[in-house]
Structure 1
Amino acid sequence: MPAISDDSASEADRMLAALVPRLRGTCAVDLAFAGPRDSGSTESITIRHLAGHLGHSLRHLRVQAGQGLGGKSLVLGRPVVAHDYFNARHIEHSYDHAVAPERIHAALAVPVRLHDTIIGVCYLAHRRNVTFGDRLVASATALVRRLERDLAVEYEVRRALRARAEADARDARLLGELREELEAVIALVTEPQARSRLRALSAGLREITDGGADPAGSPVRQETLSARELDVLRLVAKGASNNDIATALVLTPNTVKAYLRSVTRKLGATNRTHAVALARGNRLIE
């Protein structure tokens, strides 16, 4: 399995934390838990998030590929069910000592993917003699697939923002080099009118590379905000919540959060309210 970035791993961990209680409630199971892939590892996950647990025997349990129910799901890349967990012969039983205190009878493990890479495993379990039927497996898998779509969107937003930031940095660097060259040329010009015109040109380049400034002196450049970021910021200015913005712009709430993080970073804002104030002060929005 290929490596995943720290940002993607962190986002996956955060989303898994929110997914676990939803899995338990929607699928009406006794216990749900999940773990992201370990940083720097392609062969293990660590269980970090639980809902409905009796104790903490499963928390921080490291599951190796091929071992236990989740380890088999990690290797096969598909859901794996154990209807009678402790008597199941199709799985390896390295983690029975951690499973036993939870009195699990039947369990299901579902891998979580980002593109073609497995980045975590979700588990559902019953303490009663209940069978995981096709409908329940399909329901759990559908929730995981929704999480995967959100992760993919978040990944693409991060990738696009990173590419834009790199392009902006390259443009600013090139303009800065041009301005330095222009200043060197100005030093050689003695004719007053030509020197004045070159000075004005240099000042214009400085405005582009350095940007305007807010009252506190923080540089703000309108060109660094994309059209979509401005759309999000305008709705924030109207008092819309992240969910309202997501609905209005046909985005996921996680994508809205990603745009807001980018906006506050670019404007040098401390929060969304500060971002709106800076944007209005620099006439980026009404």
Structure 2
Amino acid sequence: MVASDDGFPVAFGGEVAGGHLRLTDFVGTLTTSMNNLDVRAGRGVGGRVVASGKPIGVVDYTSDRSITHDYDGPVQAEGLSAVLAVPVRVGGTCRAVLYGAIRQRVPVGDRAKDKLVGASRRLAGELAVRDEVDRRVAMAETITATRGVDVSDTASLEELRSVHSELCAIAGSTQDPGLQHRMYAVAKRLADLRSGTTQPPVNAALSRRETDVLAQIALGCTNADTAARLSLAPETVKAYLRSAMRKLGAHTRHEAVVRARSSWLLP
């Protein structure tokens, strides 16, 4: 959290879309005066951050001459004075703005600044991951929507398998339950794509984690690579792999992948 007694008593922010910043998230506020406030690029503190892509701070918001005063009403209603705003930049674009504020007319300390900048960097990383997830899911949904795709074609099949493994890797490491459920659902649809009509010869039920591990092994990942991709310990990966091999009646990791594919557990 950014808001704290030894940093910023008040913290808030929101995402940027179409050059406008909408404030939606708040910690430590006493009123609803800023809820859903639409901040235009170049206006106020946050608008200057959106326009410049750089942190902007003021000690006395309502009297500072470096900003416009379009939003003095909501800011005064909340009783804020010192305000620091930092951009959340992803791929060179300002995607969101985080604010830290103090109700007294005092300079913002270095510790508080570092905390806010650190929070913006973490959020930028999370947004970058979400963007990649959205891209992968969109690619997967395109593949699954094209039911007539020839997955017997080597290039098409390898692309399908790559997307499936990436989805399993990201789903296995994310802490967002909703996002995880969405990715696993699409991964299952990918695994269900078949070029033939025969039923699977092996009736093995693998756990979600066992499938995640095999999906990475199928791409040629080592146990260490798999552990890094799934945010697991190497010994845990080995345990999941041994369990999957036992369930599939396989003696080697390669045989386990082959059997998982023939069982329609992997694409």
Q: State the TM-score, normalizing by the size of structure 1.
A: 0.57
- Counterpart among 116, 122, 134 of residue 92 in structure 2: 116
Give the number of the structure whose alpha-carbon radius of gyration is greater: 1
Who is 2:4 aligned against? 25
SS at match of 2:21: strand
Q: What CA distance in whole angstroms lies between the structure 2 residues aligned with 1:231 and 1:35?
A: 29
Q: How far did residue 56 of structure 1 move?
A: 1.0
Query: 5 Å matches for 1:124-143?
Result: 124-143=100-119
1:253 pairs with 2:166? no
- Residues paired across the two proteins, number: 195
Counterpart code for 1:112 = V
Q: How far did residue 78 of structure 1 move?
A: 0.7
For each residue in 1:226-265, what CA deviation from the matched residue of structure 2 results, as whole angstroms up to 9, or x when unmatched?
A: 23555688xxxxxxxxxxx53xxxxx424x8644312124
Contact 1:81 1:107 in 2 (8 A): yes
SS at match of 1:35: strand
SS at match of 1:158: helix
Who is 2:120 aligned against? 144
Q: What CA distance in whole angstroms lies between the structure 2 residues aligned with 1:232 and 1:152?
A: 12
Unaligned runs of 5+ in 2: 153-159, 190-206, 212-246, 248-262
Distance 1:35 1:27, change over 3 A: farther
Unaligned runs of 5+ in 1: 1-21, 177-204, 206-221, 234-244, 247-251, 269-274
Report the identity percentage.
Answer: 28
Q: What CA distance in whole angstroms lies between the structure 2 residues aligned with 1:232 and 1:78?
A: 30
Counterpart code for 2:119 = L
Q: What CA distance in whole angstroms lies between the structure 2 residues aligned with 1:24 and 1:105?
A: 15
Query: 5 Å matches for 1:214-233?
Result: 226-227=164-165, 229=167
Distance 1:82 1:230, change over 3 A: closer
Q: CA RMSD in A?
A: 3.7
Distance 1:31 1:155, change over 3 A: same
Contact 1:111 1:120 in 2 (8 A): yes
1:263 pairs with 2:184? yes
Q: State the TM-score, normalizing by the size of structure 2.
A: 0.61
SS at match of 2:83: strand
**Per residue, is there more helix in 1 or in 2?**
1
Structure 1 ranges of 4+ moved more than 4 A: 222-225, 228-233
Counterpart code for 1:48 = T
Counterpart code for 1:28 = G
Q: What CA distance in whole angstroms lies between the structure 1 residues aligned with 2:69 and 2:169?
A: 53
Distance 1:47 1:260, change over 3 A: same
- Counterpart among 16, 31, 34 of residue 37 in structure 1: 16
Q: How far did residue 126 of structure 1 move?
A: 0.3
Contact 1:111 1:121 in 2 (8 A): yes
1:284 pairs with 2:261? no
Distance 1:78 1:153, change over 3 A: same
